[in-house]
Structure 1
Amino acid sequence: MNKKSYHFYAMATILCWSISYVLSRYIMDEFSAYSISFLRYIVASIALIALAPIIKLKKIEKQDLGWILLTGTIGFFLYMIAFNKGLETVNATTGSVIIAMVPMISSILSNFIYQEKLTKPQWFASSLSFVGVLLITLLPGGFTINYGLIWFFGAAFCMSFYNLLSRKLVKKYQAIQVTTFSIFAGTILLSIFSVSSFRQVQQASGLAIFCIILMGVFSSAVAYVCWAKAFERAENVASVSNYMYLTPFFTSILGIIIIDEVPGWSTIIGGILVLTGLMLFNSKRFKTARN
């Protein structure tokens, strides 16, 4: 199997996720954070059910149902609630910056759980990208501290654990199978918000509903299938999760286009460092360097 093939799937995921920050902020006036979470994943579940004959899902073994429930709880139920609650008071670009901390968290967790060692140059590259994240966050024009940041930090930890759990499961099942059943599990849990969600749909504009559908199909179903596929093909967790450093860059561009959210110089300078670190981390020279 060509290990380099994970790059396409990782990039597709980041693009799909980047648009979700902006669209979620855009429809916050018409839907609550809980409703956006549920509606995104009920749409995603319907999309995956429609694709079931093509996907040819296999039965999950009884001993792994608990793991599926856990990935659904962490990666879709808890993460989405924290993500959308954070967006209530934090702008799209800032939210994507905080979630960009996931690669660093994933690498540290992977070091302890899977004993996946990074080379010293890779640690340097990760640190360079992280400095870029700090510049976007802390320089003038960065975020204003509020409770939304706590929600986003919680979301970052949820995503990190989801990354590691998914990698464990895709060693036994197809990536699309793991993602699909995890989404179903998360959607079932999110259904506790179904009544209020459908009530808000009746009062929402057609454009807001279209945004929900767009996020459900692409930012949820397609994105997570690609994300799981990337982990299935990658050499280690960090190789894929470091792609999340690109999210602030794409979110900033989409924010300008869709909701007139113009990034400051801190975002531009920090973004350059983030991209530089990512390219260095994934370079063959940094991967094969001796510690």
Structure 2
Amino acid sequence: MPDQKQAMLYGLATVLLWSTVATAFKLSLRDLSPVQMLVIACSASVLVMALILVAQRRWHRVFELSGKQYLQSMGMGLINPCLYYFVLFGAFDRLPAQEAQPLNYTWALVLAYLSVPFLGQRLQRLDVVAGLVCYAGVVVIATRGDVLSLTFSDPLGVGLAIGSTVIWASYWIIATRDTRDPVVGLFLNFLCGLPVIVAVCALTDGFDVAPGTAMAAAVYVGVFEMGIAFVLWSYAMKKAENTSRVSNLIFISPFLSLVFISMILGEVILPSTYVGLVLIVAGLWVQQHKTRAKLAGVSGS
């Protein structure tokens, strides 16, 4: 049954969790390599999603899929968590959190662009405007305000951050044809991706990981960013009477994230980060406003 108050509470809880993960990424990456962090986080995520399915009495659905759907789980698991988090953690390993986090938020715009060739949607003028505004913000952040020089603070790190948005957007385009229960699907994707991640870690950095803050941060990422936040957001969407009010909450997250980055990591937030982030959020707002206007026109016709 729709309940806007509950939807907003679930949405706010999700946004709060999303706002902490950039800080958790950097805390973990201080002592762990990206692949070591991913092994721990993915393992924690698989466990917490299994517990959620058991608690919701939906565990039996894991065993009710077709052979094709299990193959789908293997394929999607190679994209998320494997490829996406390899690239994302690589970006956070190279860039300050205040740079990597806003760049990753442009995935929603990339999704709109990729929907043109892959979903047959039309690119409109506001999509182009949103893109120009968003990527102006990306340039401001990546050059740390020295826009005219076009000298990036870390070209590979910036490339990985932008690449992660393409991978994430591609994953959600593929997911539009996914008929599995969302939590069951995510659980199976991570379960199928975990052995690949473990194998890569064994062949590269190994498992010599000492307990401490870094491990705890990696577990936090797995439990909350990869697990509980997904479930809370799905509840928020399901309970919402007005989904646009709930979806607007995501614009709080990048600014709140800067507070945690400054207070916990001790990063001095550069003026260029604020300017770039405002441009990115403005571009995303333009793109989302266009989508809402289109839906309103359809519902009113």
Tell me the TM-score normalised to structure 1 length: 0.79
Three-state SS of the structure 1 residue aligned to 2:176 is: helix
In structure 2, the partner of 1:192 is: 199
Q: Matches of 2:181 and 2:278 in 1, distance apart?
A: 35
Give me the CA root mean square deviation.
3.6
Is the Cα contact below 8 Å between 2:94 and 2:154 reproduced in 1? no
For residues 7 and 94 of structure 1, do their structure 2 counterparts lie closer, same or farther at Cα, with a shift above 3 Å needed? farther
- Determine if contact 1:180/1:225 at 8 Å carries over to the other structure: no
Larger radius of gyration: 2
Q: 1 CA distance for matches of 2:15 and 2:172?
A: 14
Query: C-alpha distance in 2, partners of 1:243/1:76?
Result: 25
- Counting matched residue pairs gives 280
Partner of 1:111: 116
Name the structure 2 match of 1:53: 54
Map of 1:143-158 to 2, 5 A cutoff? 144-158=153-167
Between the aligned partners of 2:66 and 2:249, the Cα distance in structure 1 is 32
Alignment of 1:194-213 (within 5 A): 198-200=207-209, 203-205=210-212, 207-213=213-219
- In structure 1, the partner of 2:243 is none
Contact 2:73 2:185 in 1 (8 A): yes
Provide structure 1 residue ranges, at least 5 long, that are not aligned to the other structure: 235-239
1:237 alignment partner in structure 2: none
Q: Give the aligned partner of residue 270 of structure 1.
A: 276
Distance 1:267 1:45 in 2: 34
C-alpha displacement of 1:128 = 2.9
Q: Percent identity?
A: 18
Q: TM-score, normalised by structure 2?
A: 0.77
What is the CA–CA distance in structure 1 between the aligned matches of 2:17 and 2:275, rounded to whole Å? 24
Q: How does 1:76-155 map to 2 (within 5 A)?
A: 76-117=81-122, 119-121=124-126, 123-140=128-145, 144-155=153-164
Structure 1 CA distance, aligned partners of 2:227 and 2:14? 10
Alpha-carbon displacement from aligned partner over 1:213-260 (angstroms, at most 9, x marks no partner): 2111101112344566789999xxxxx999877654343222101101
Paired residue type of 2:45? A
Displacement of 1:72 in angstroms is 1.1
Task: Assess, with a 3 A threshold, how the Cα gap between structure 1 residues 226 and 124 changes in structure 2: closer, same or farther.
Answer: farther
Q: Residue 66 of structure 1 aligns to which amino acid in structure 2?
A: L
The 2-side partners of 1:134 and 1:229 are apart by 35
**C-alpha spacing 1:139/1:32, structure 2 compared with 1 (3 Å):** closer
Equivalence map 1:13-92=2 (5 Å): 15-55=16-56, 56-57=58-59, 58=61, 59-92=64-97
Contact 1:13–1:227 (Cα < 8 Å) also in 2 = yes
